[in-house]
Copies of this chain bind each other. A is one copy, B any other.
Amino acid sequence: MTRRQWLPALLLLLLASSCTSAQEEPAGNYVLVIHGGAGTITRNNMTADMEAAYTAALESSLKKGYAILQSGGSSLDAVEACIRMLEDDSLFNAGKGAVFTHDGSNELDASVMDGKTLAAGAVAGVRTVRNPITLARAVMEKSPHVMMAGRGAEQFAKEAGIEIVDTAYFRTEKSWKGLQRALQQDSLKALANPDTKFGTVGCVALDKQGNLAAGTSTGGMTNKKFGRIGDSPVIGAGTYANNNTVAVSGTGWGEFYIRNVVAYDLSALMEYKGLSVQEAGKTVIKKVGDLGGNGGLIALDKNGNMAMPFNTEGMYRGSATKDGRIGILIYKD
């Protein structure tokens, strides 16, 4: 081969390799996104103290998760750690501070999914488990099942060595007063009050190994009756993760999220229609709105691109990226 012959071949080779790296993100990218619920969160109904408290709580959670990812930890570990912090914080409707059911109890739901293996775990209606997200992960890793509910799930928690607390642990005056207000309204009015509906926390993460994970945890709706289960513990509705596409955690009017299979629909729109995570996120939230529901979600694709769409007044949300930047937002504008 003469110089004239191999020079174009070399150029073609270089071009081909640069095309490949342009399509794929450099390995080792890591990103974390969290939410603390969506609803009528406006500047008008927020004090400076409350805003500072929510911002500090979201920042602590993000820093915790970021440290795990930075040191090479798994996205699953980051998701669990972030959500545990939000569950332990009584500001959010998950774990301590969860809203009350009609009967005056706290019934907690959570789920988690591993994008690498499509393994998943979920619990619904547990009353004595301090960190439902940790129980959901134990269901995924230590049982042959995906979903457990009620007393049976609590029995499993005990056998798996998960921390059990007295039911009084979850009680906050804010949530108790919320129930008293709801009991005075009729149930339809209570349903129409988004503040009582959308308290949920969630996290999606991409780790250095390229693995996505998603988790969601909630106390559900204030004044909920009849063992109602929302979308948070329903894989495909409130939570979904798949290394080939995206990790998603939703926060919204659960019934609409279940009917629209929101989290998996976002993944399907990316996989089958080639939509970006932003386009797919916008589309599924629009579909929720078209059906009469509302809420938001966080989504993170396999390349670290994120989306945080919502059709409510606000959504507590934040992200941490590889460069160490932490961004926290609350309102629409």
Contacts and interface: CB of A to CB of B under 8 A. Distances in A.
A124 B152 contact: no
Contact of A149 (B125, B187, B261, B273): B125
A33 interface: no
Interface string A231-249: 0001111001000000000
A77 to B, nearest CB: 20
Count copies of this chain in the complex. 2
Given A125-B150, A143-B226, A235 B258 contact: yes
A276 interface: no
SS of A interface (majority): mixed
A120 B258 contact: yes
A43 interface: no
Interface in A146-192: 146-153, 155-156, 187-188, 191
A259 interface: yes
A119 B125 CA distance: 23
A251 B101 CA distance: 33
Given A152-B227, A227-B153, A261-B264, A255 B145 contact: yes
A120 to B, nearest CB: 5
A268 interface: yes
Interface string A253-293: 01100111100110011001100000000000000000100
Contacts of A113: 259
Contacts of A148: 226-229
A231 B278 CA distance: 29
B236 A147 contact: no
Contact of A259 (B118, B153, B230, B269): B118
A119 B259 contact: yes
A124 B229 contact: yes
A225 interface: yes
A167 B144 CA distance: 27
A71 to B, nearest CB: 29
Interface string A117-136: 01110001100000000000
Interface of A: 113, 118-120, 124-125, 143-153, 155-156, 187-188, 191, 225-230, 234-237, 240, 254-255, 258-261, 264-265, 268-269, 272-273, 291
5 interchain residue pairs of minimum CB distance: A152-B227, A272-B272, A268-B268, A236-B261, A156-B226
Given A147-B258, A156-B227, 10 more contacts: A120-B258, A144-B255, A146-B254, A148-B229, A151-B227, A153-B226, A234-B236, A235-B258, A235-B261, A268-B268
14 contacts: A143-B226, A146-B254, A146-B255, A147-B229, A147-B234, A148-B228, A149-B227, A151-B227, A152-B225, A152-B228, A234-B234, A236-B236, A236-B258, A269-B272
